[in-house]
Amino acid sequence: MSDTDPLAALRTRKLAIVGYGNHGRSHALNLRDSGLTNIRIGLREGSASRAKAEAEGFEVGTVAEVAGWADIVSILAADEAHAEIWRDDIAPNRPAGQALIFCHGYSIQYGLVDPSPDADIILAAAKGPGGAVRTEYQNGGGLIGYWAVHRDASGSARDIALAYLEGIGSGRVGIFETTFEEEAVSDLFGEQAVLVGGLVALAKASFCRLTAAGVSPRMAYIDCVHELKYLADLIHDRGIAGMYDAISDTAEFGARLCEHDIASALGPEFDTLLDNIRSGDFAASWNAEHASGAPRMKTWRAADLKEPVEEAGLELRSRLKGGRRDTPS
Ligand SMILES: NC(=O)c1ccc[n+]([C@@H]2O[C@H](COP(=O)([O-])OP(=O)(O)OC[C@H]3O[C@@H](n4cnc5c(N)ncnc54)[C@H](OP(=O)(O)O)[C@@H]3O)[C@@H](O)[C@H]2O)c1
């Protein structure tokens, strides 16, 4: 990597970004704002995102077209589409030696994409939601970046990874090395056990337990769901011990009493989650779900709307918007 230009490895290469969703849009805008000009967006035929990408000043083509043009393709389409995008659009059109960048180790780790030996296979992952990649960048920061090289065919894979992460803003906060396997397993486990699955399970189960015991849905929602944000912010800014330091001693004592028991109860479930992720069973199950038109996802999403916890959240947020209060009797 050049000492003077952290983006040197990308400066002379044509970069295609496939997908203009949360990450695709943010990466494209950040890389351009960081000074890269040779960027095109690849979208499927009839994509609803085409108008947005064009309105934001990008040249847009089909995935096949940009794959035939680019020196580097950053695949930022939904993971479940990677296999077909690779098979139908990128592999038949890509020039020899084209490098591939992923934002998640998933497709390579679980064999959805199996590029030919001439391809650099690079991980350049901004750790967090795609929208935050953009907002943090605009605020002068970035998301923590992780890079890995699965295959270095060109001899430049590491430089490309680091330049890419610099360009999307991760260099402003921290860039660390990993492997595709570690990132895939850790990312899936984190979102299943804690950030999404575990959090939602705890929030819903505790809301149901309190309301079954006669607590009003609004009060239960505030205590089990709504306040999560403030605790998450404290942990984000100060760590777990720092969060304990910032809350009441009553809250800390109660939490420390039950923390161990809850963790013990969850231990076997976490073992199963990790085994399923490591073995590829989870990826196989998601592939099968996607291939059959995602019937379970549709059922779950439809059921959400009827959940008492959703109704309580809607009711609370509508009251908060209006600044309404109960009239004292
Ligand atoms: N490392 C991390 O912490 C982290 C965090 C989040 C995400 N990621 C990764 O970032 C990548 C993108 O995630 P995202 O959150 O940005 O996804 P997203 O917002 O759902 O965007 C998906 C994009 O993929 C496109 N797409 C879907 N199916 C397609 C198909 N069959 N052919 C062509 N394009 C298709 C969509 O096209 P349309 O616009 O036409 O609908 C959309 O532009 C994934 O690999 C994900 O795992 C990594």
Pairing state of beta strands 121-126 and 145-151?
A: antiparallel
The pLDDT of residue 263 is above 70: yes
The CATH number of 8-179, from 2.40.128.120, 1.20.120.80, 3.40.50.300, 3.40.50.720, is 3.40.50.720
Q: Quick check: 91 and 64 in contact, CB under 8 A? A: no
Domain range annotation of the chain: 8-179, 188-322
Q: Give the tokens for residue 209.
A: 């337990």
pLDDT 10s digits, 133-173: 999 999 999 999 999 999 999 999 999 999 999 999 999 99
Architecture of domain 188-322: Orthogonal Bundle (1.10)
Q: Quick check: 35 and 195 in contact, CB under 8 A? A: no
Ligand 1 centroid to Cα of residue 57, in Å, is 20
pLDDT 10s digits, 74-125: 999 999 999 999 999 999 999 999 999 999 999 999 999 999 999 999 999 9
DSSP track, 304-319? HTT-HHHHHHHHHHHH
Ligand 1 centroid to Cα of residue 286, in Å, is 15
Residue with the smallest CA separation from ligand 1 atom 26 is: 77
The pLDDT of residue 240 is above 90: yes
Ligand 1 centroid to Cα of residue 301, in Å, is 19
Q: What is the largest CA-CA distance in the chain?
A: 76
pLDDT the model gives residue 324: 64
The one-letter code for the residue type at 93 is N
Q: Quick check: 13 and 40 in contact, CB under 8 A? A: no
| Ligand 1, residues at Cβ distance < 6 Å | 19-24, 43-44, 47-49, 63, 76-79, 81, 84-85, 103-104, 106, 125, 127-128, 130, 187
Q: pLDDT tier at 329 (50, 70, 90 boundaries)?
A: very low
Ligand 1 centroid to Cα of residue 327, in Å, is 47
DSSP H helical ranges for 34-125: 50-55, 63-69, 82-85, 106-109
Question: How many Cβ atoms sit within 10 Å of the Cβ of residue 177?
Answer: 13
In a mutational test of the pocket of ligand 1, which residue from 27, 44, 122 has the highest number of ligand atoms less than 8 Å from its CB?
A: 44
Least Cα distance to 112 among 284, 275, 276, 278 occurs for 284
* Residues classed as catalytic: 104
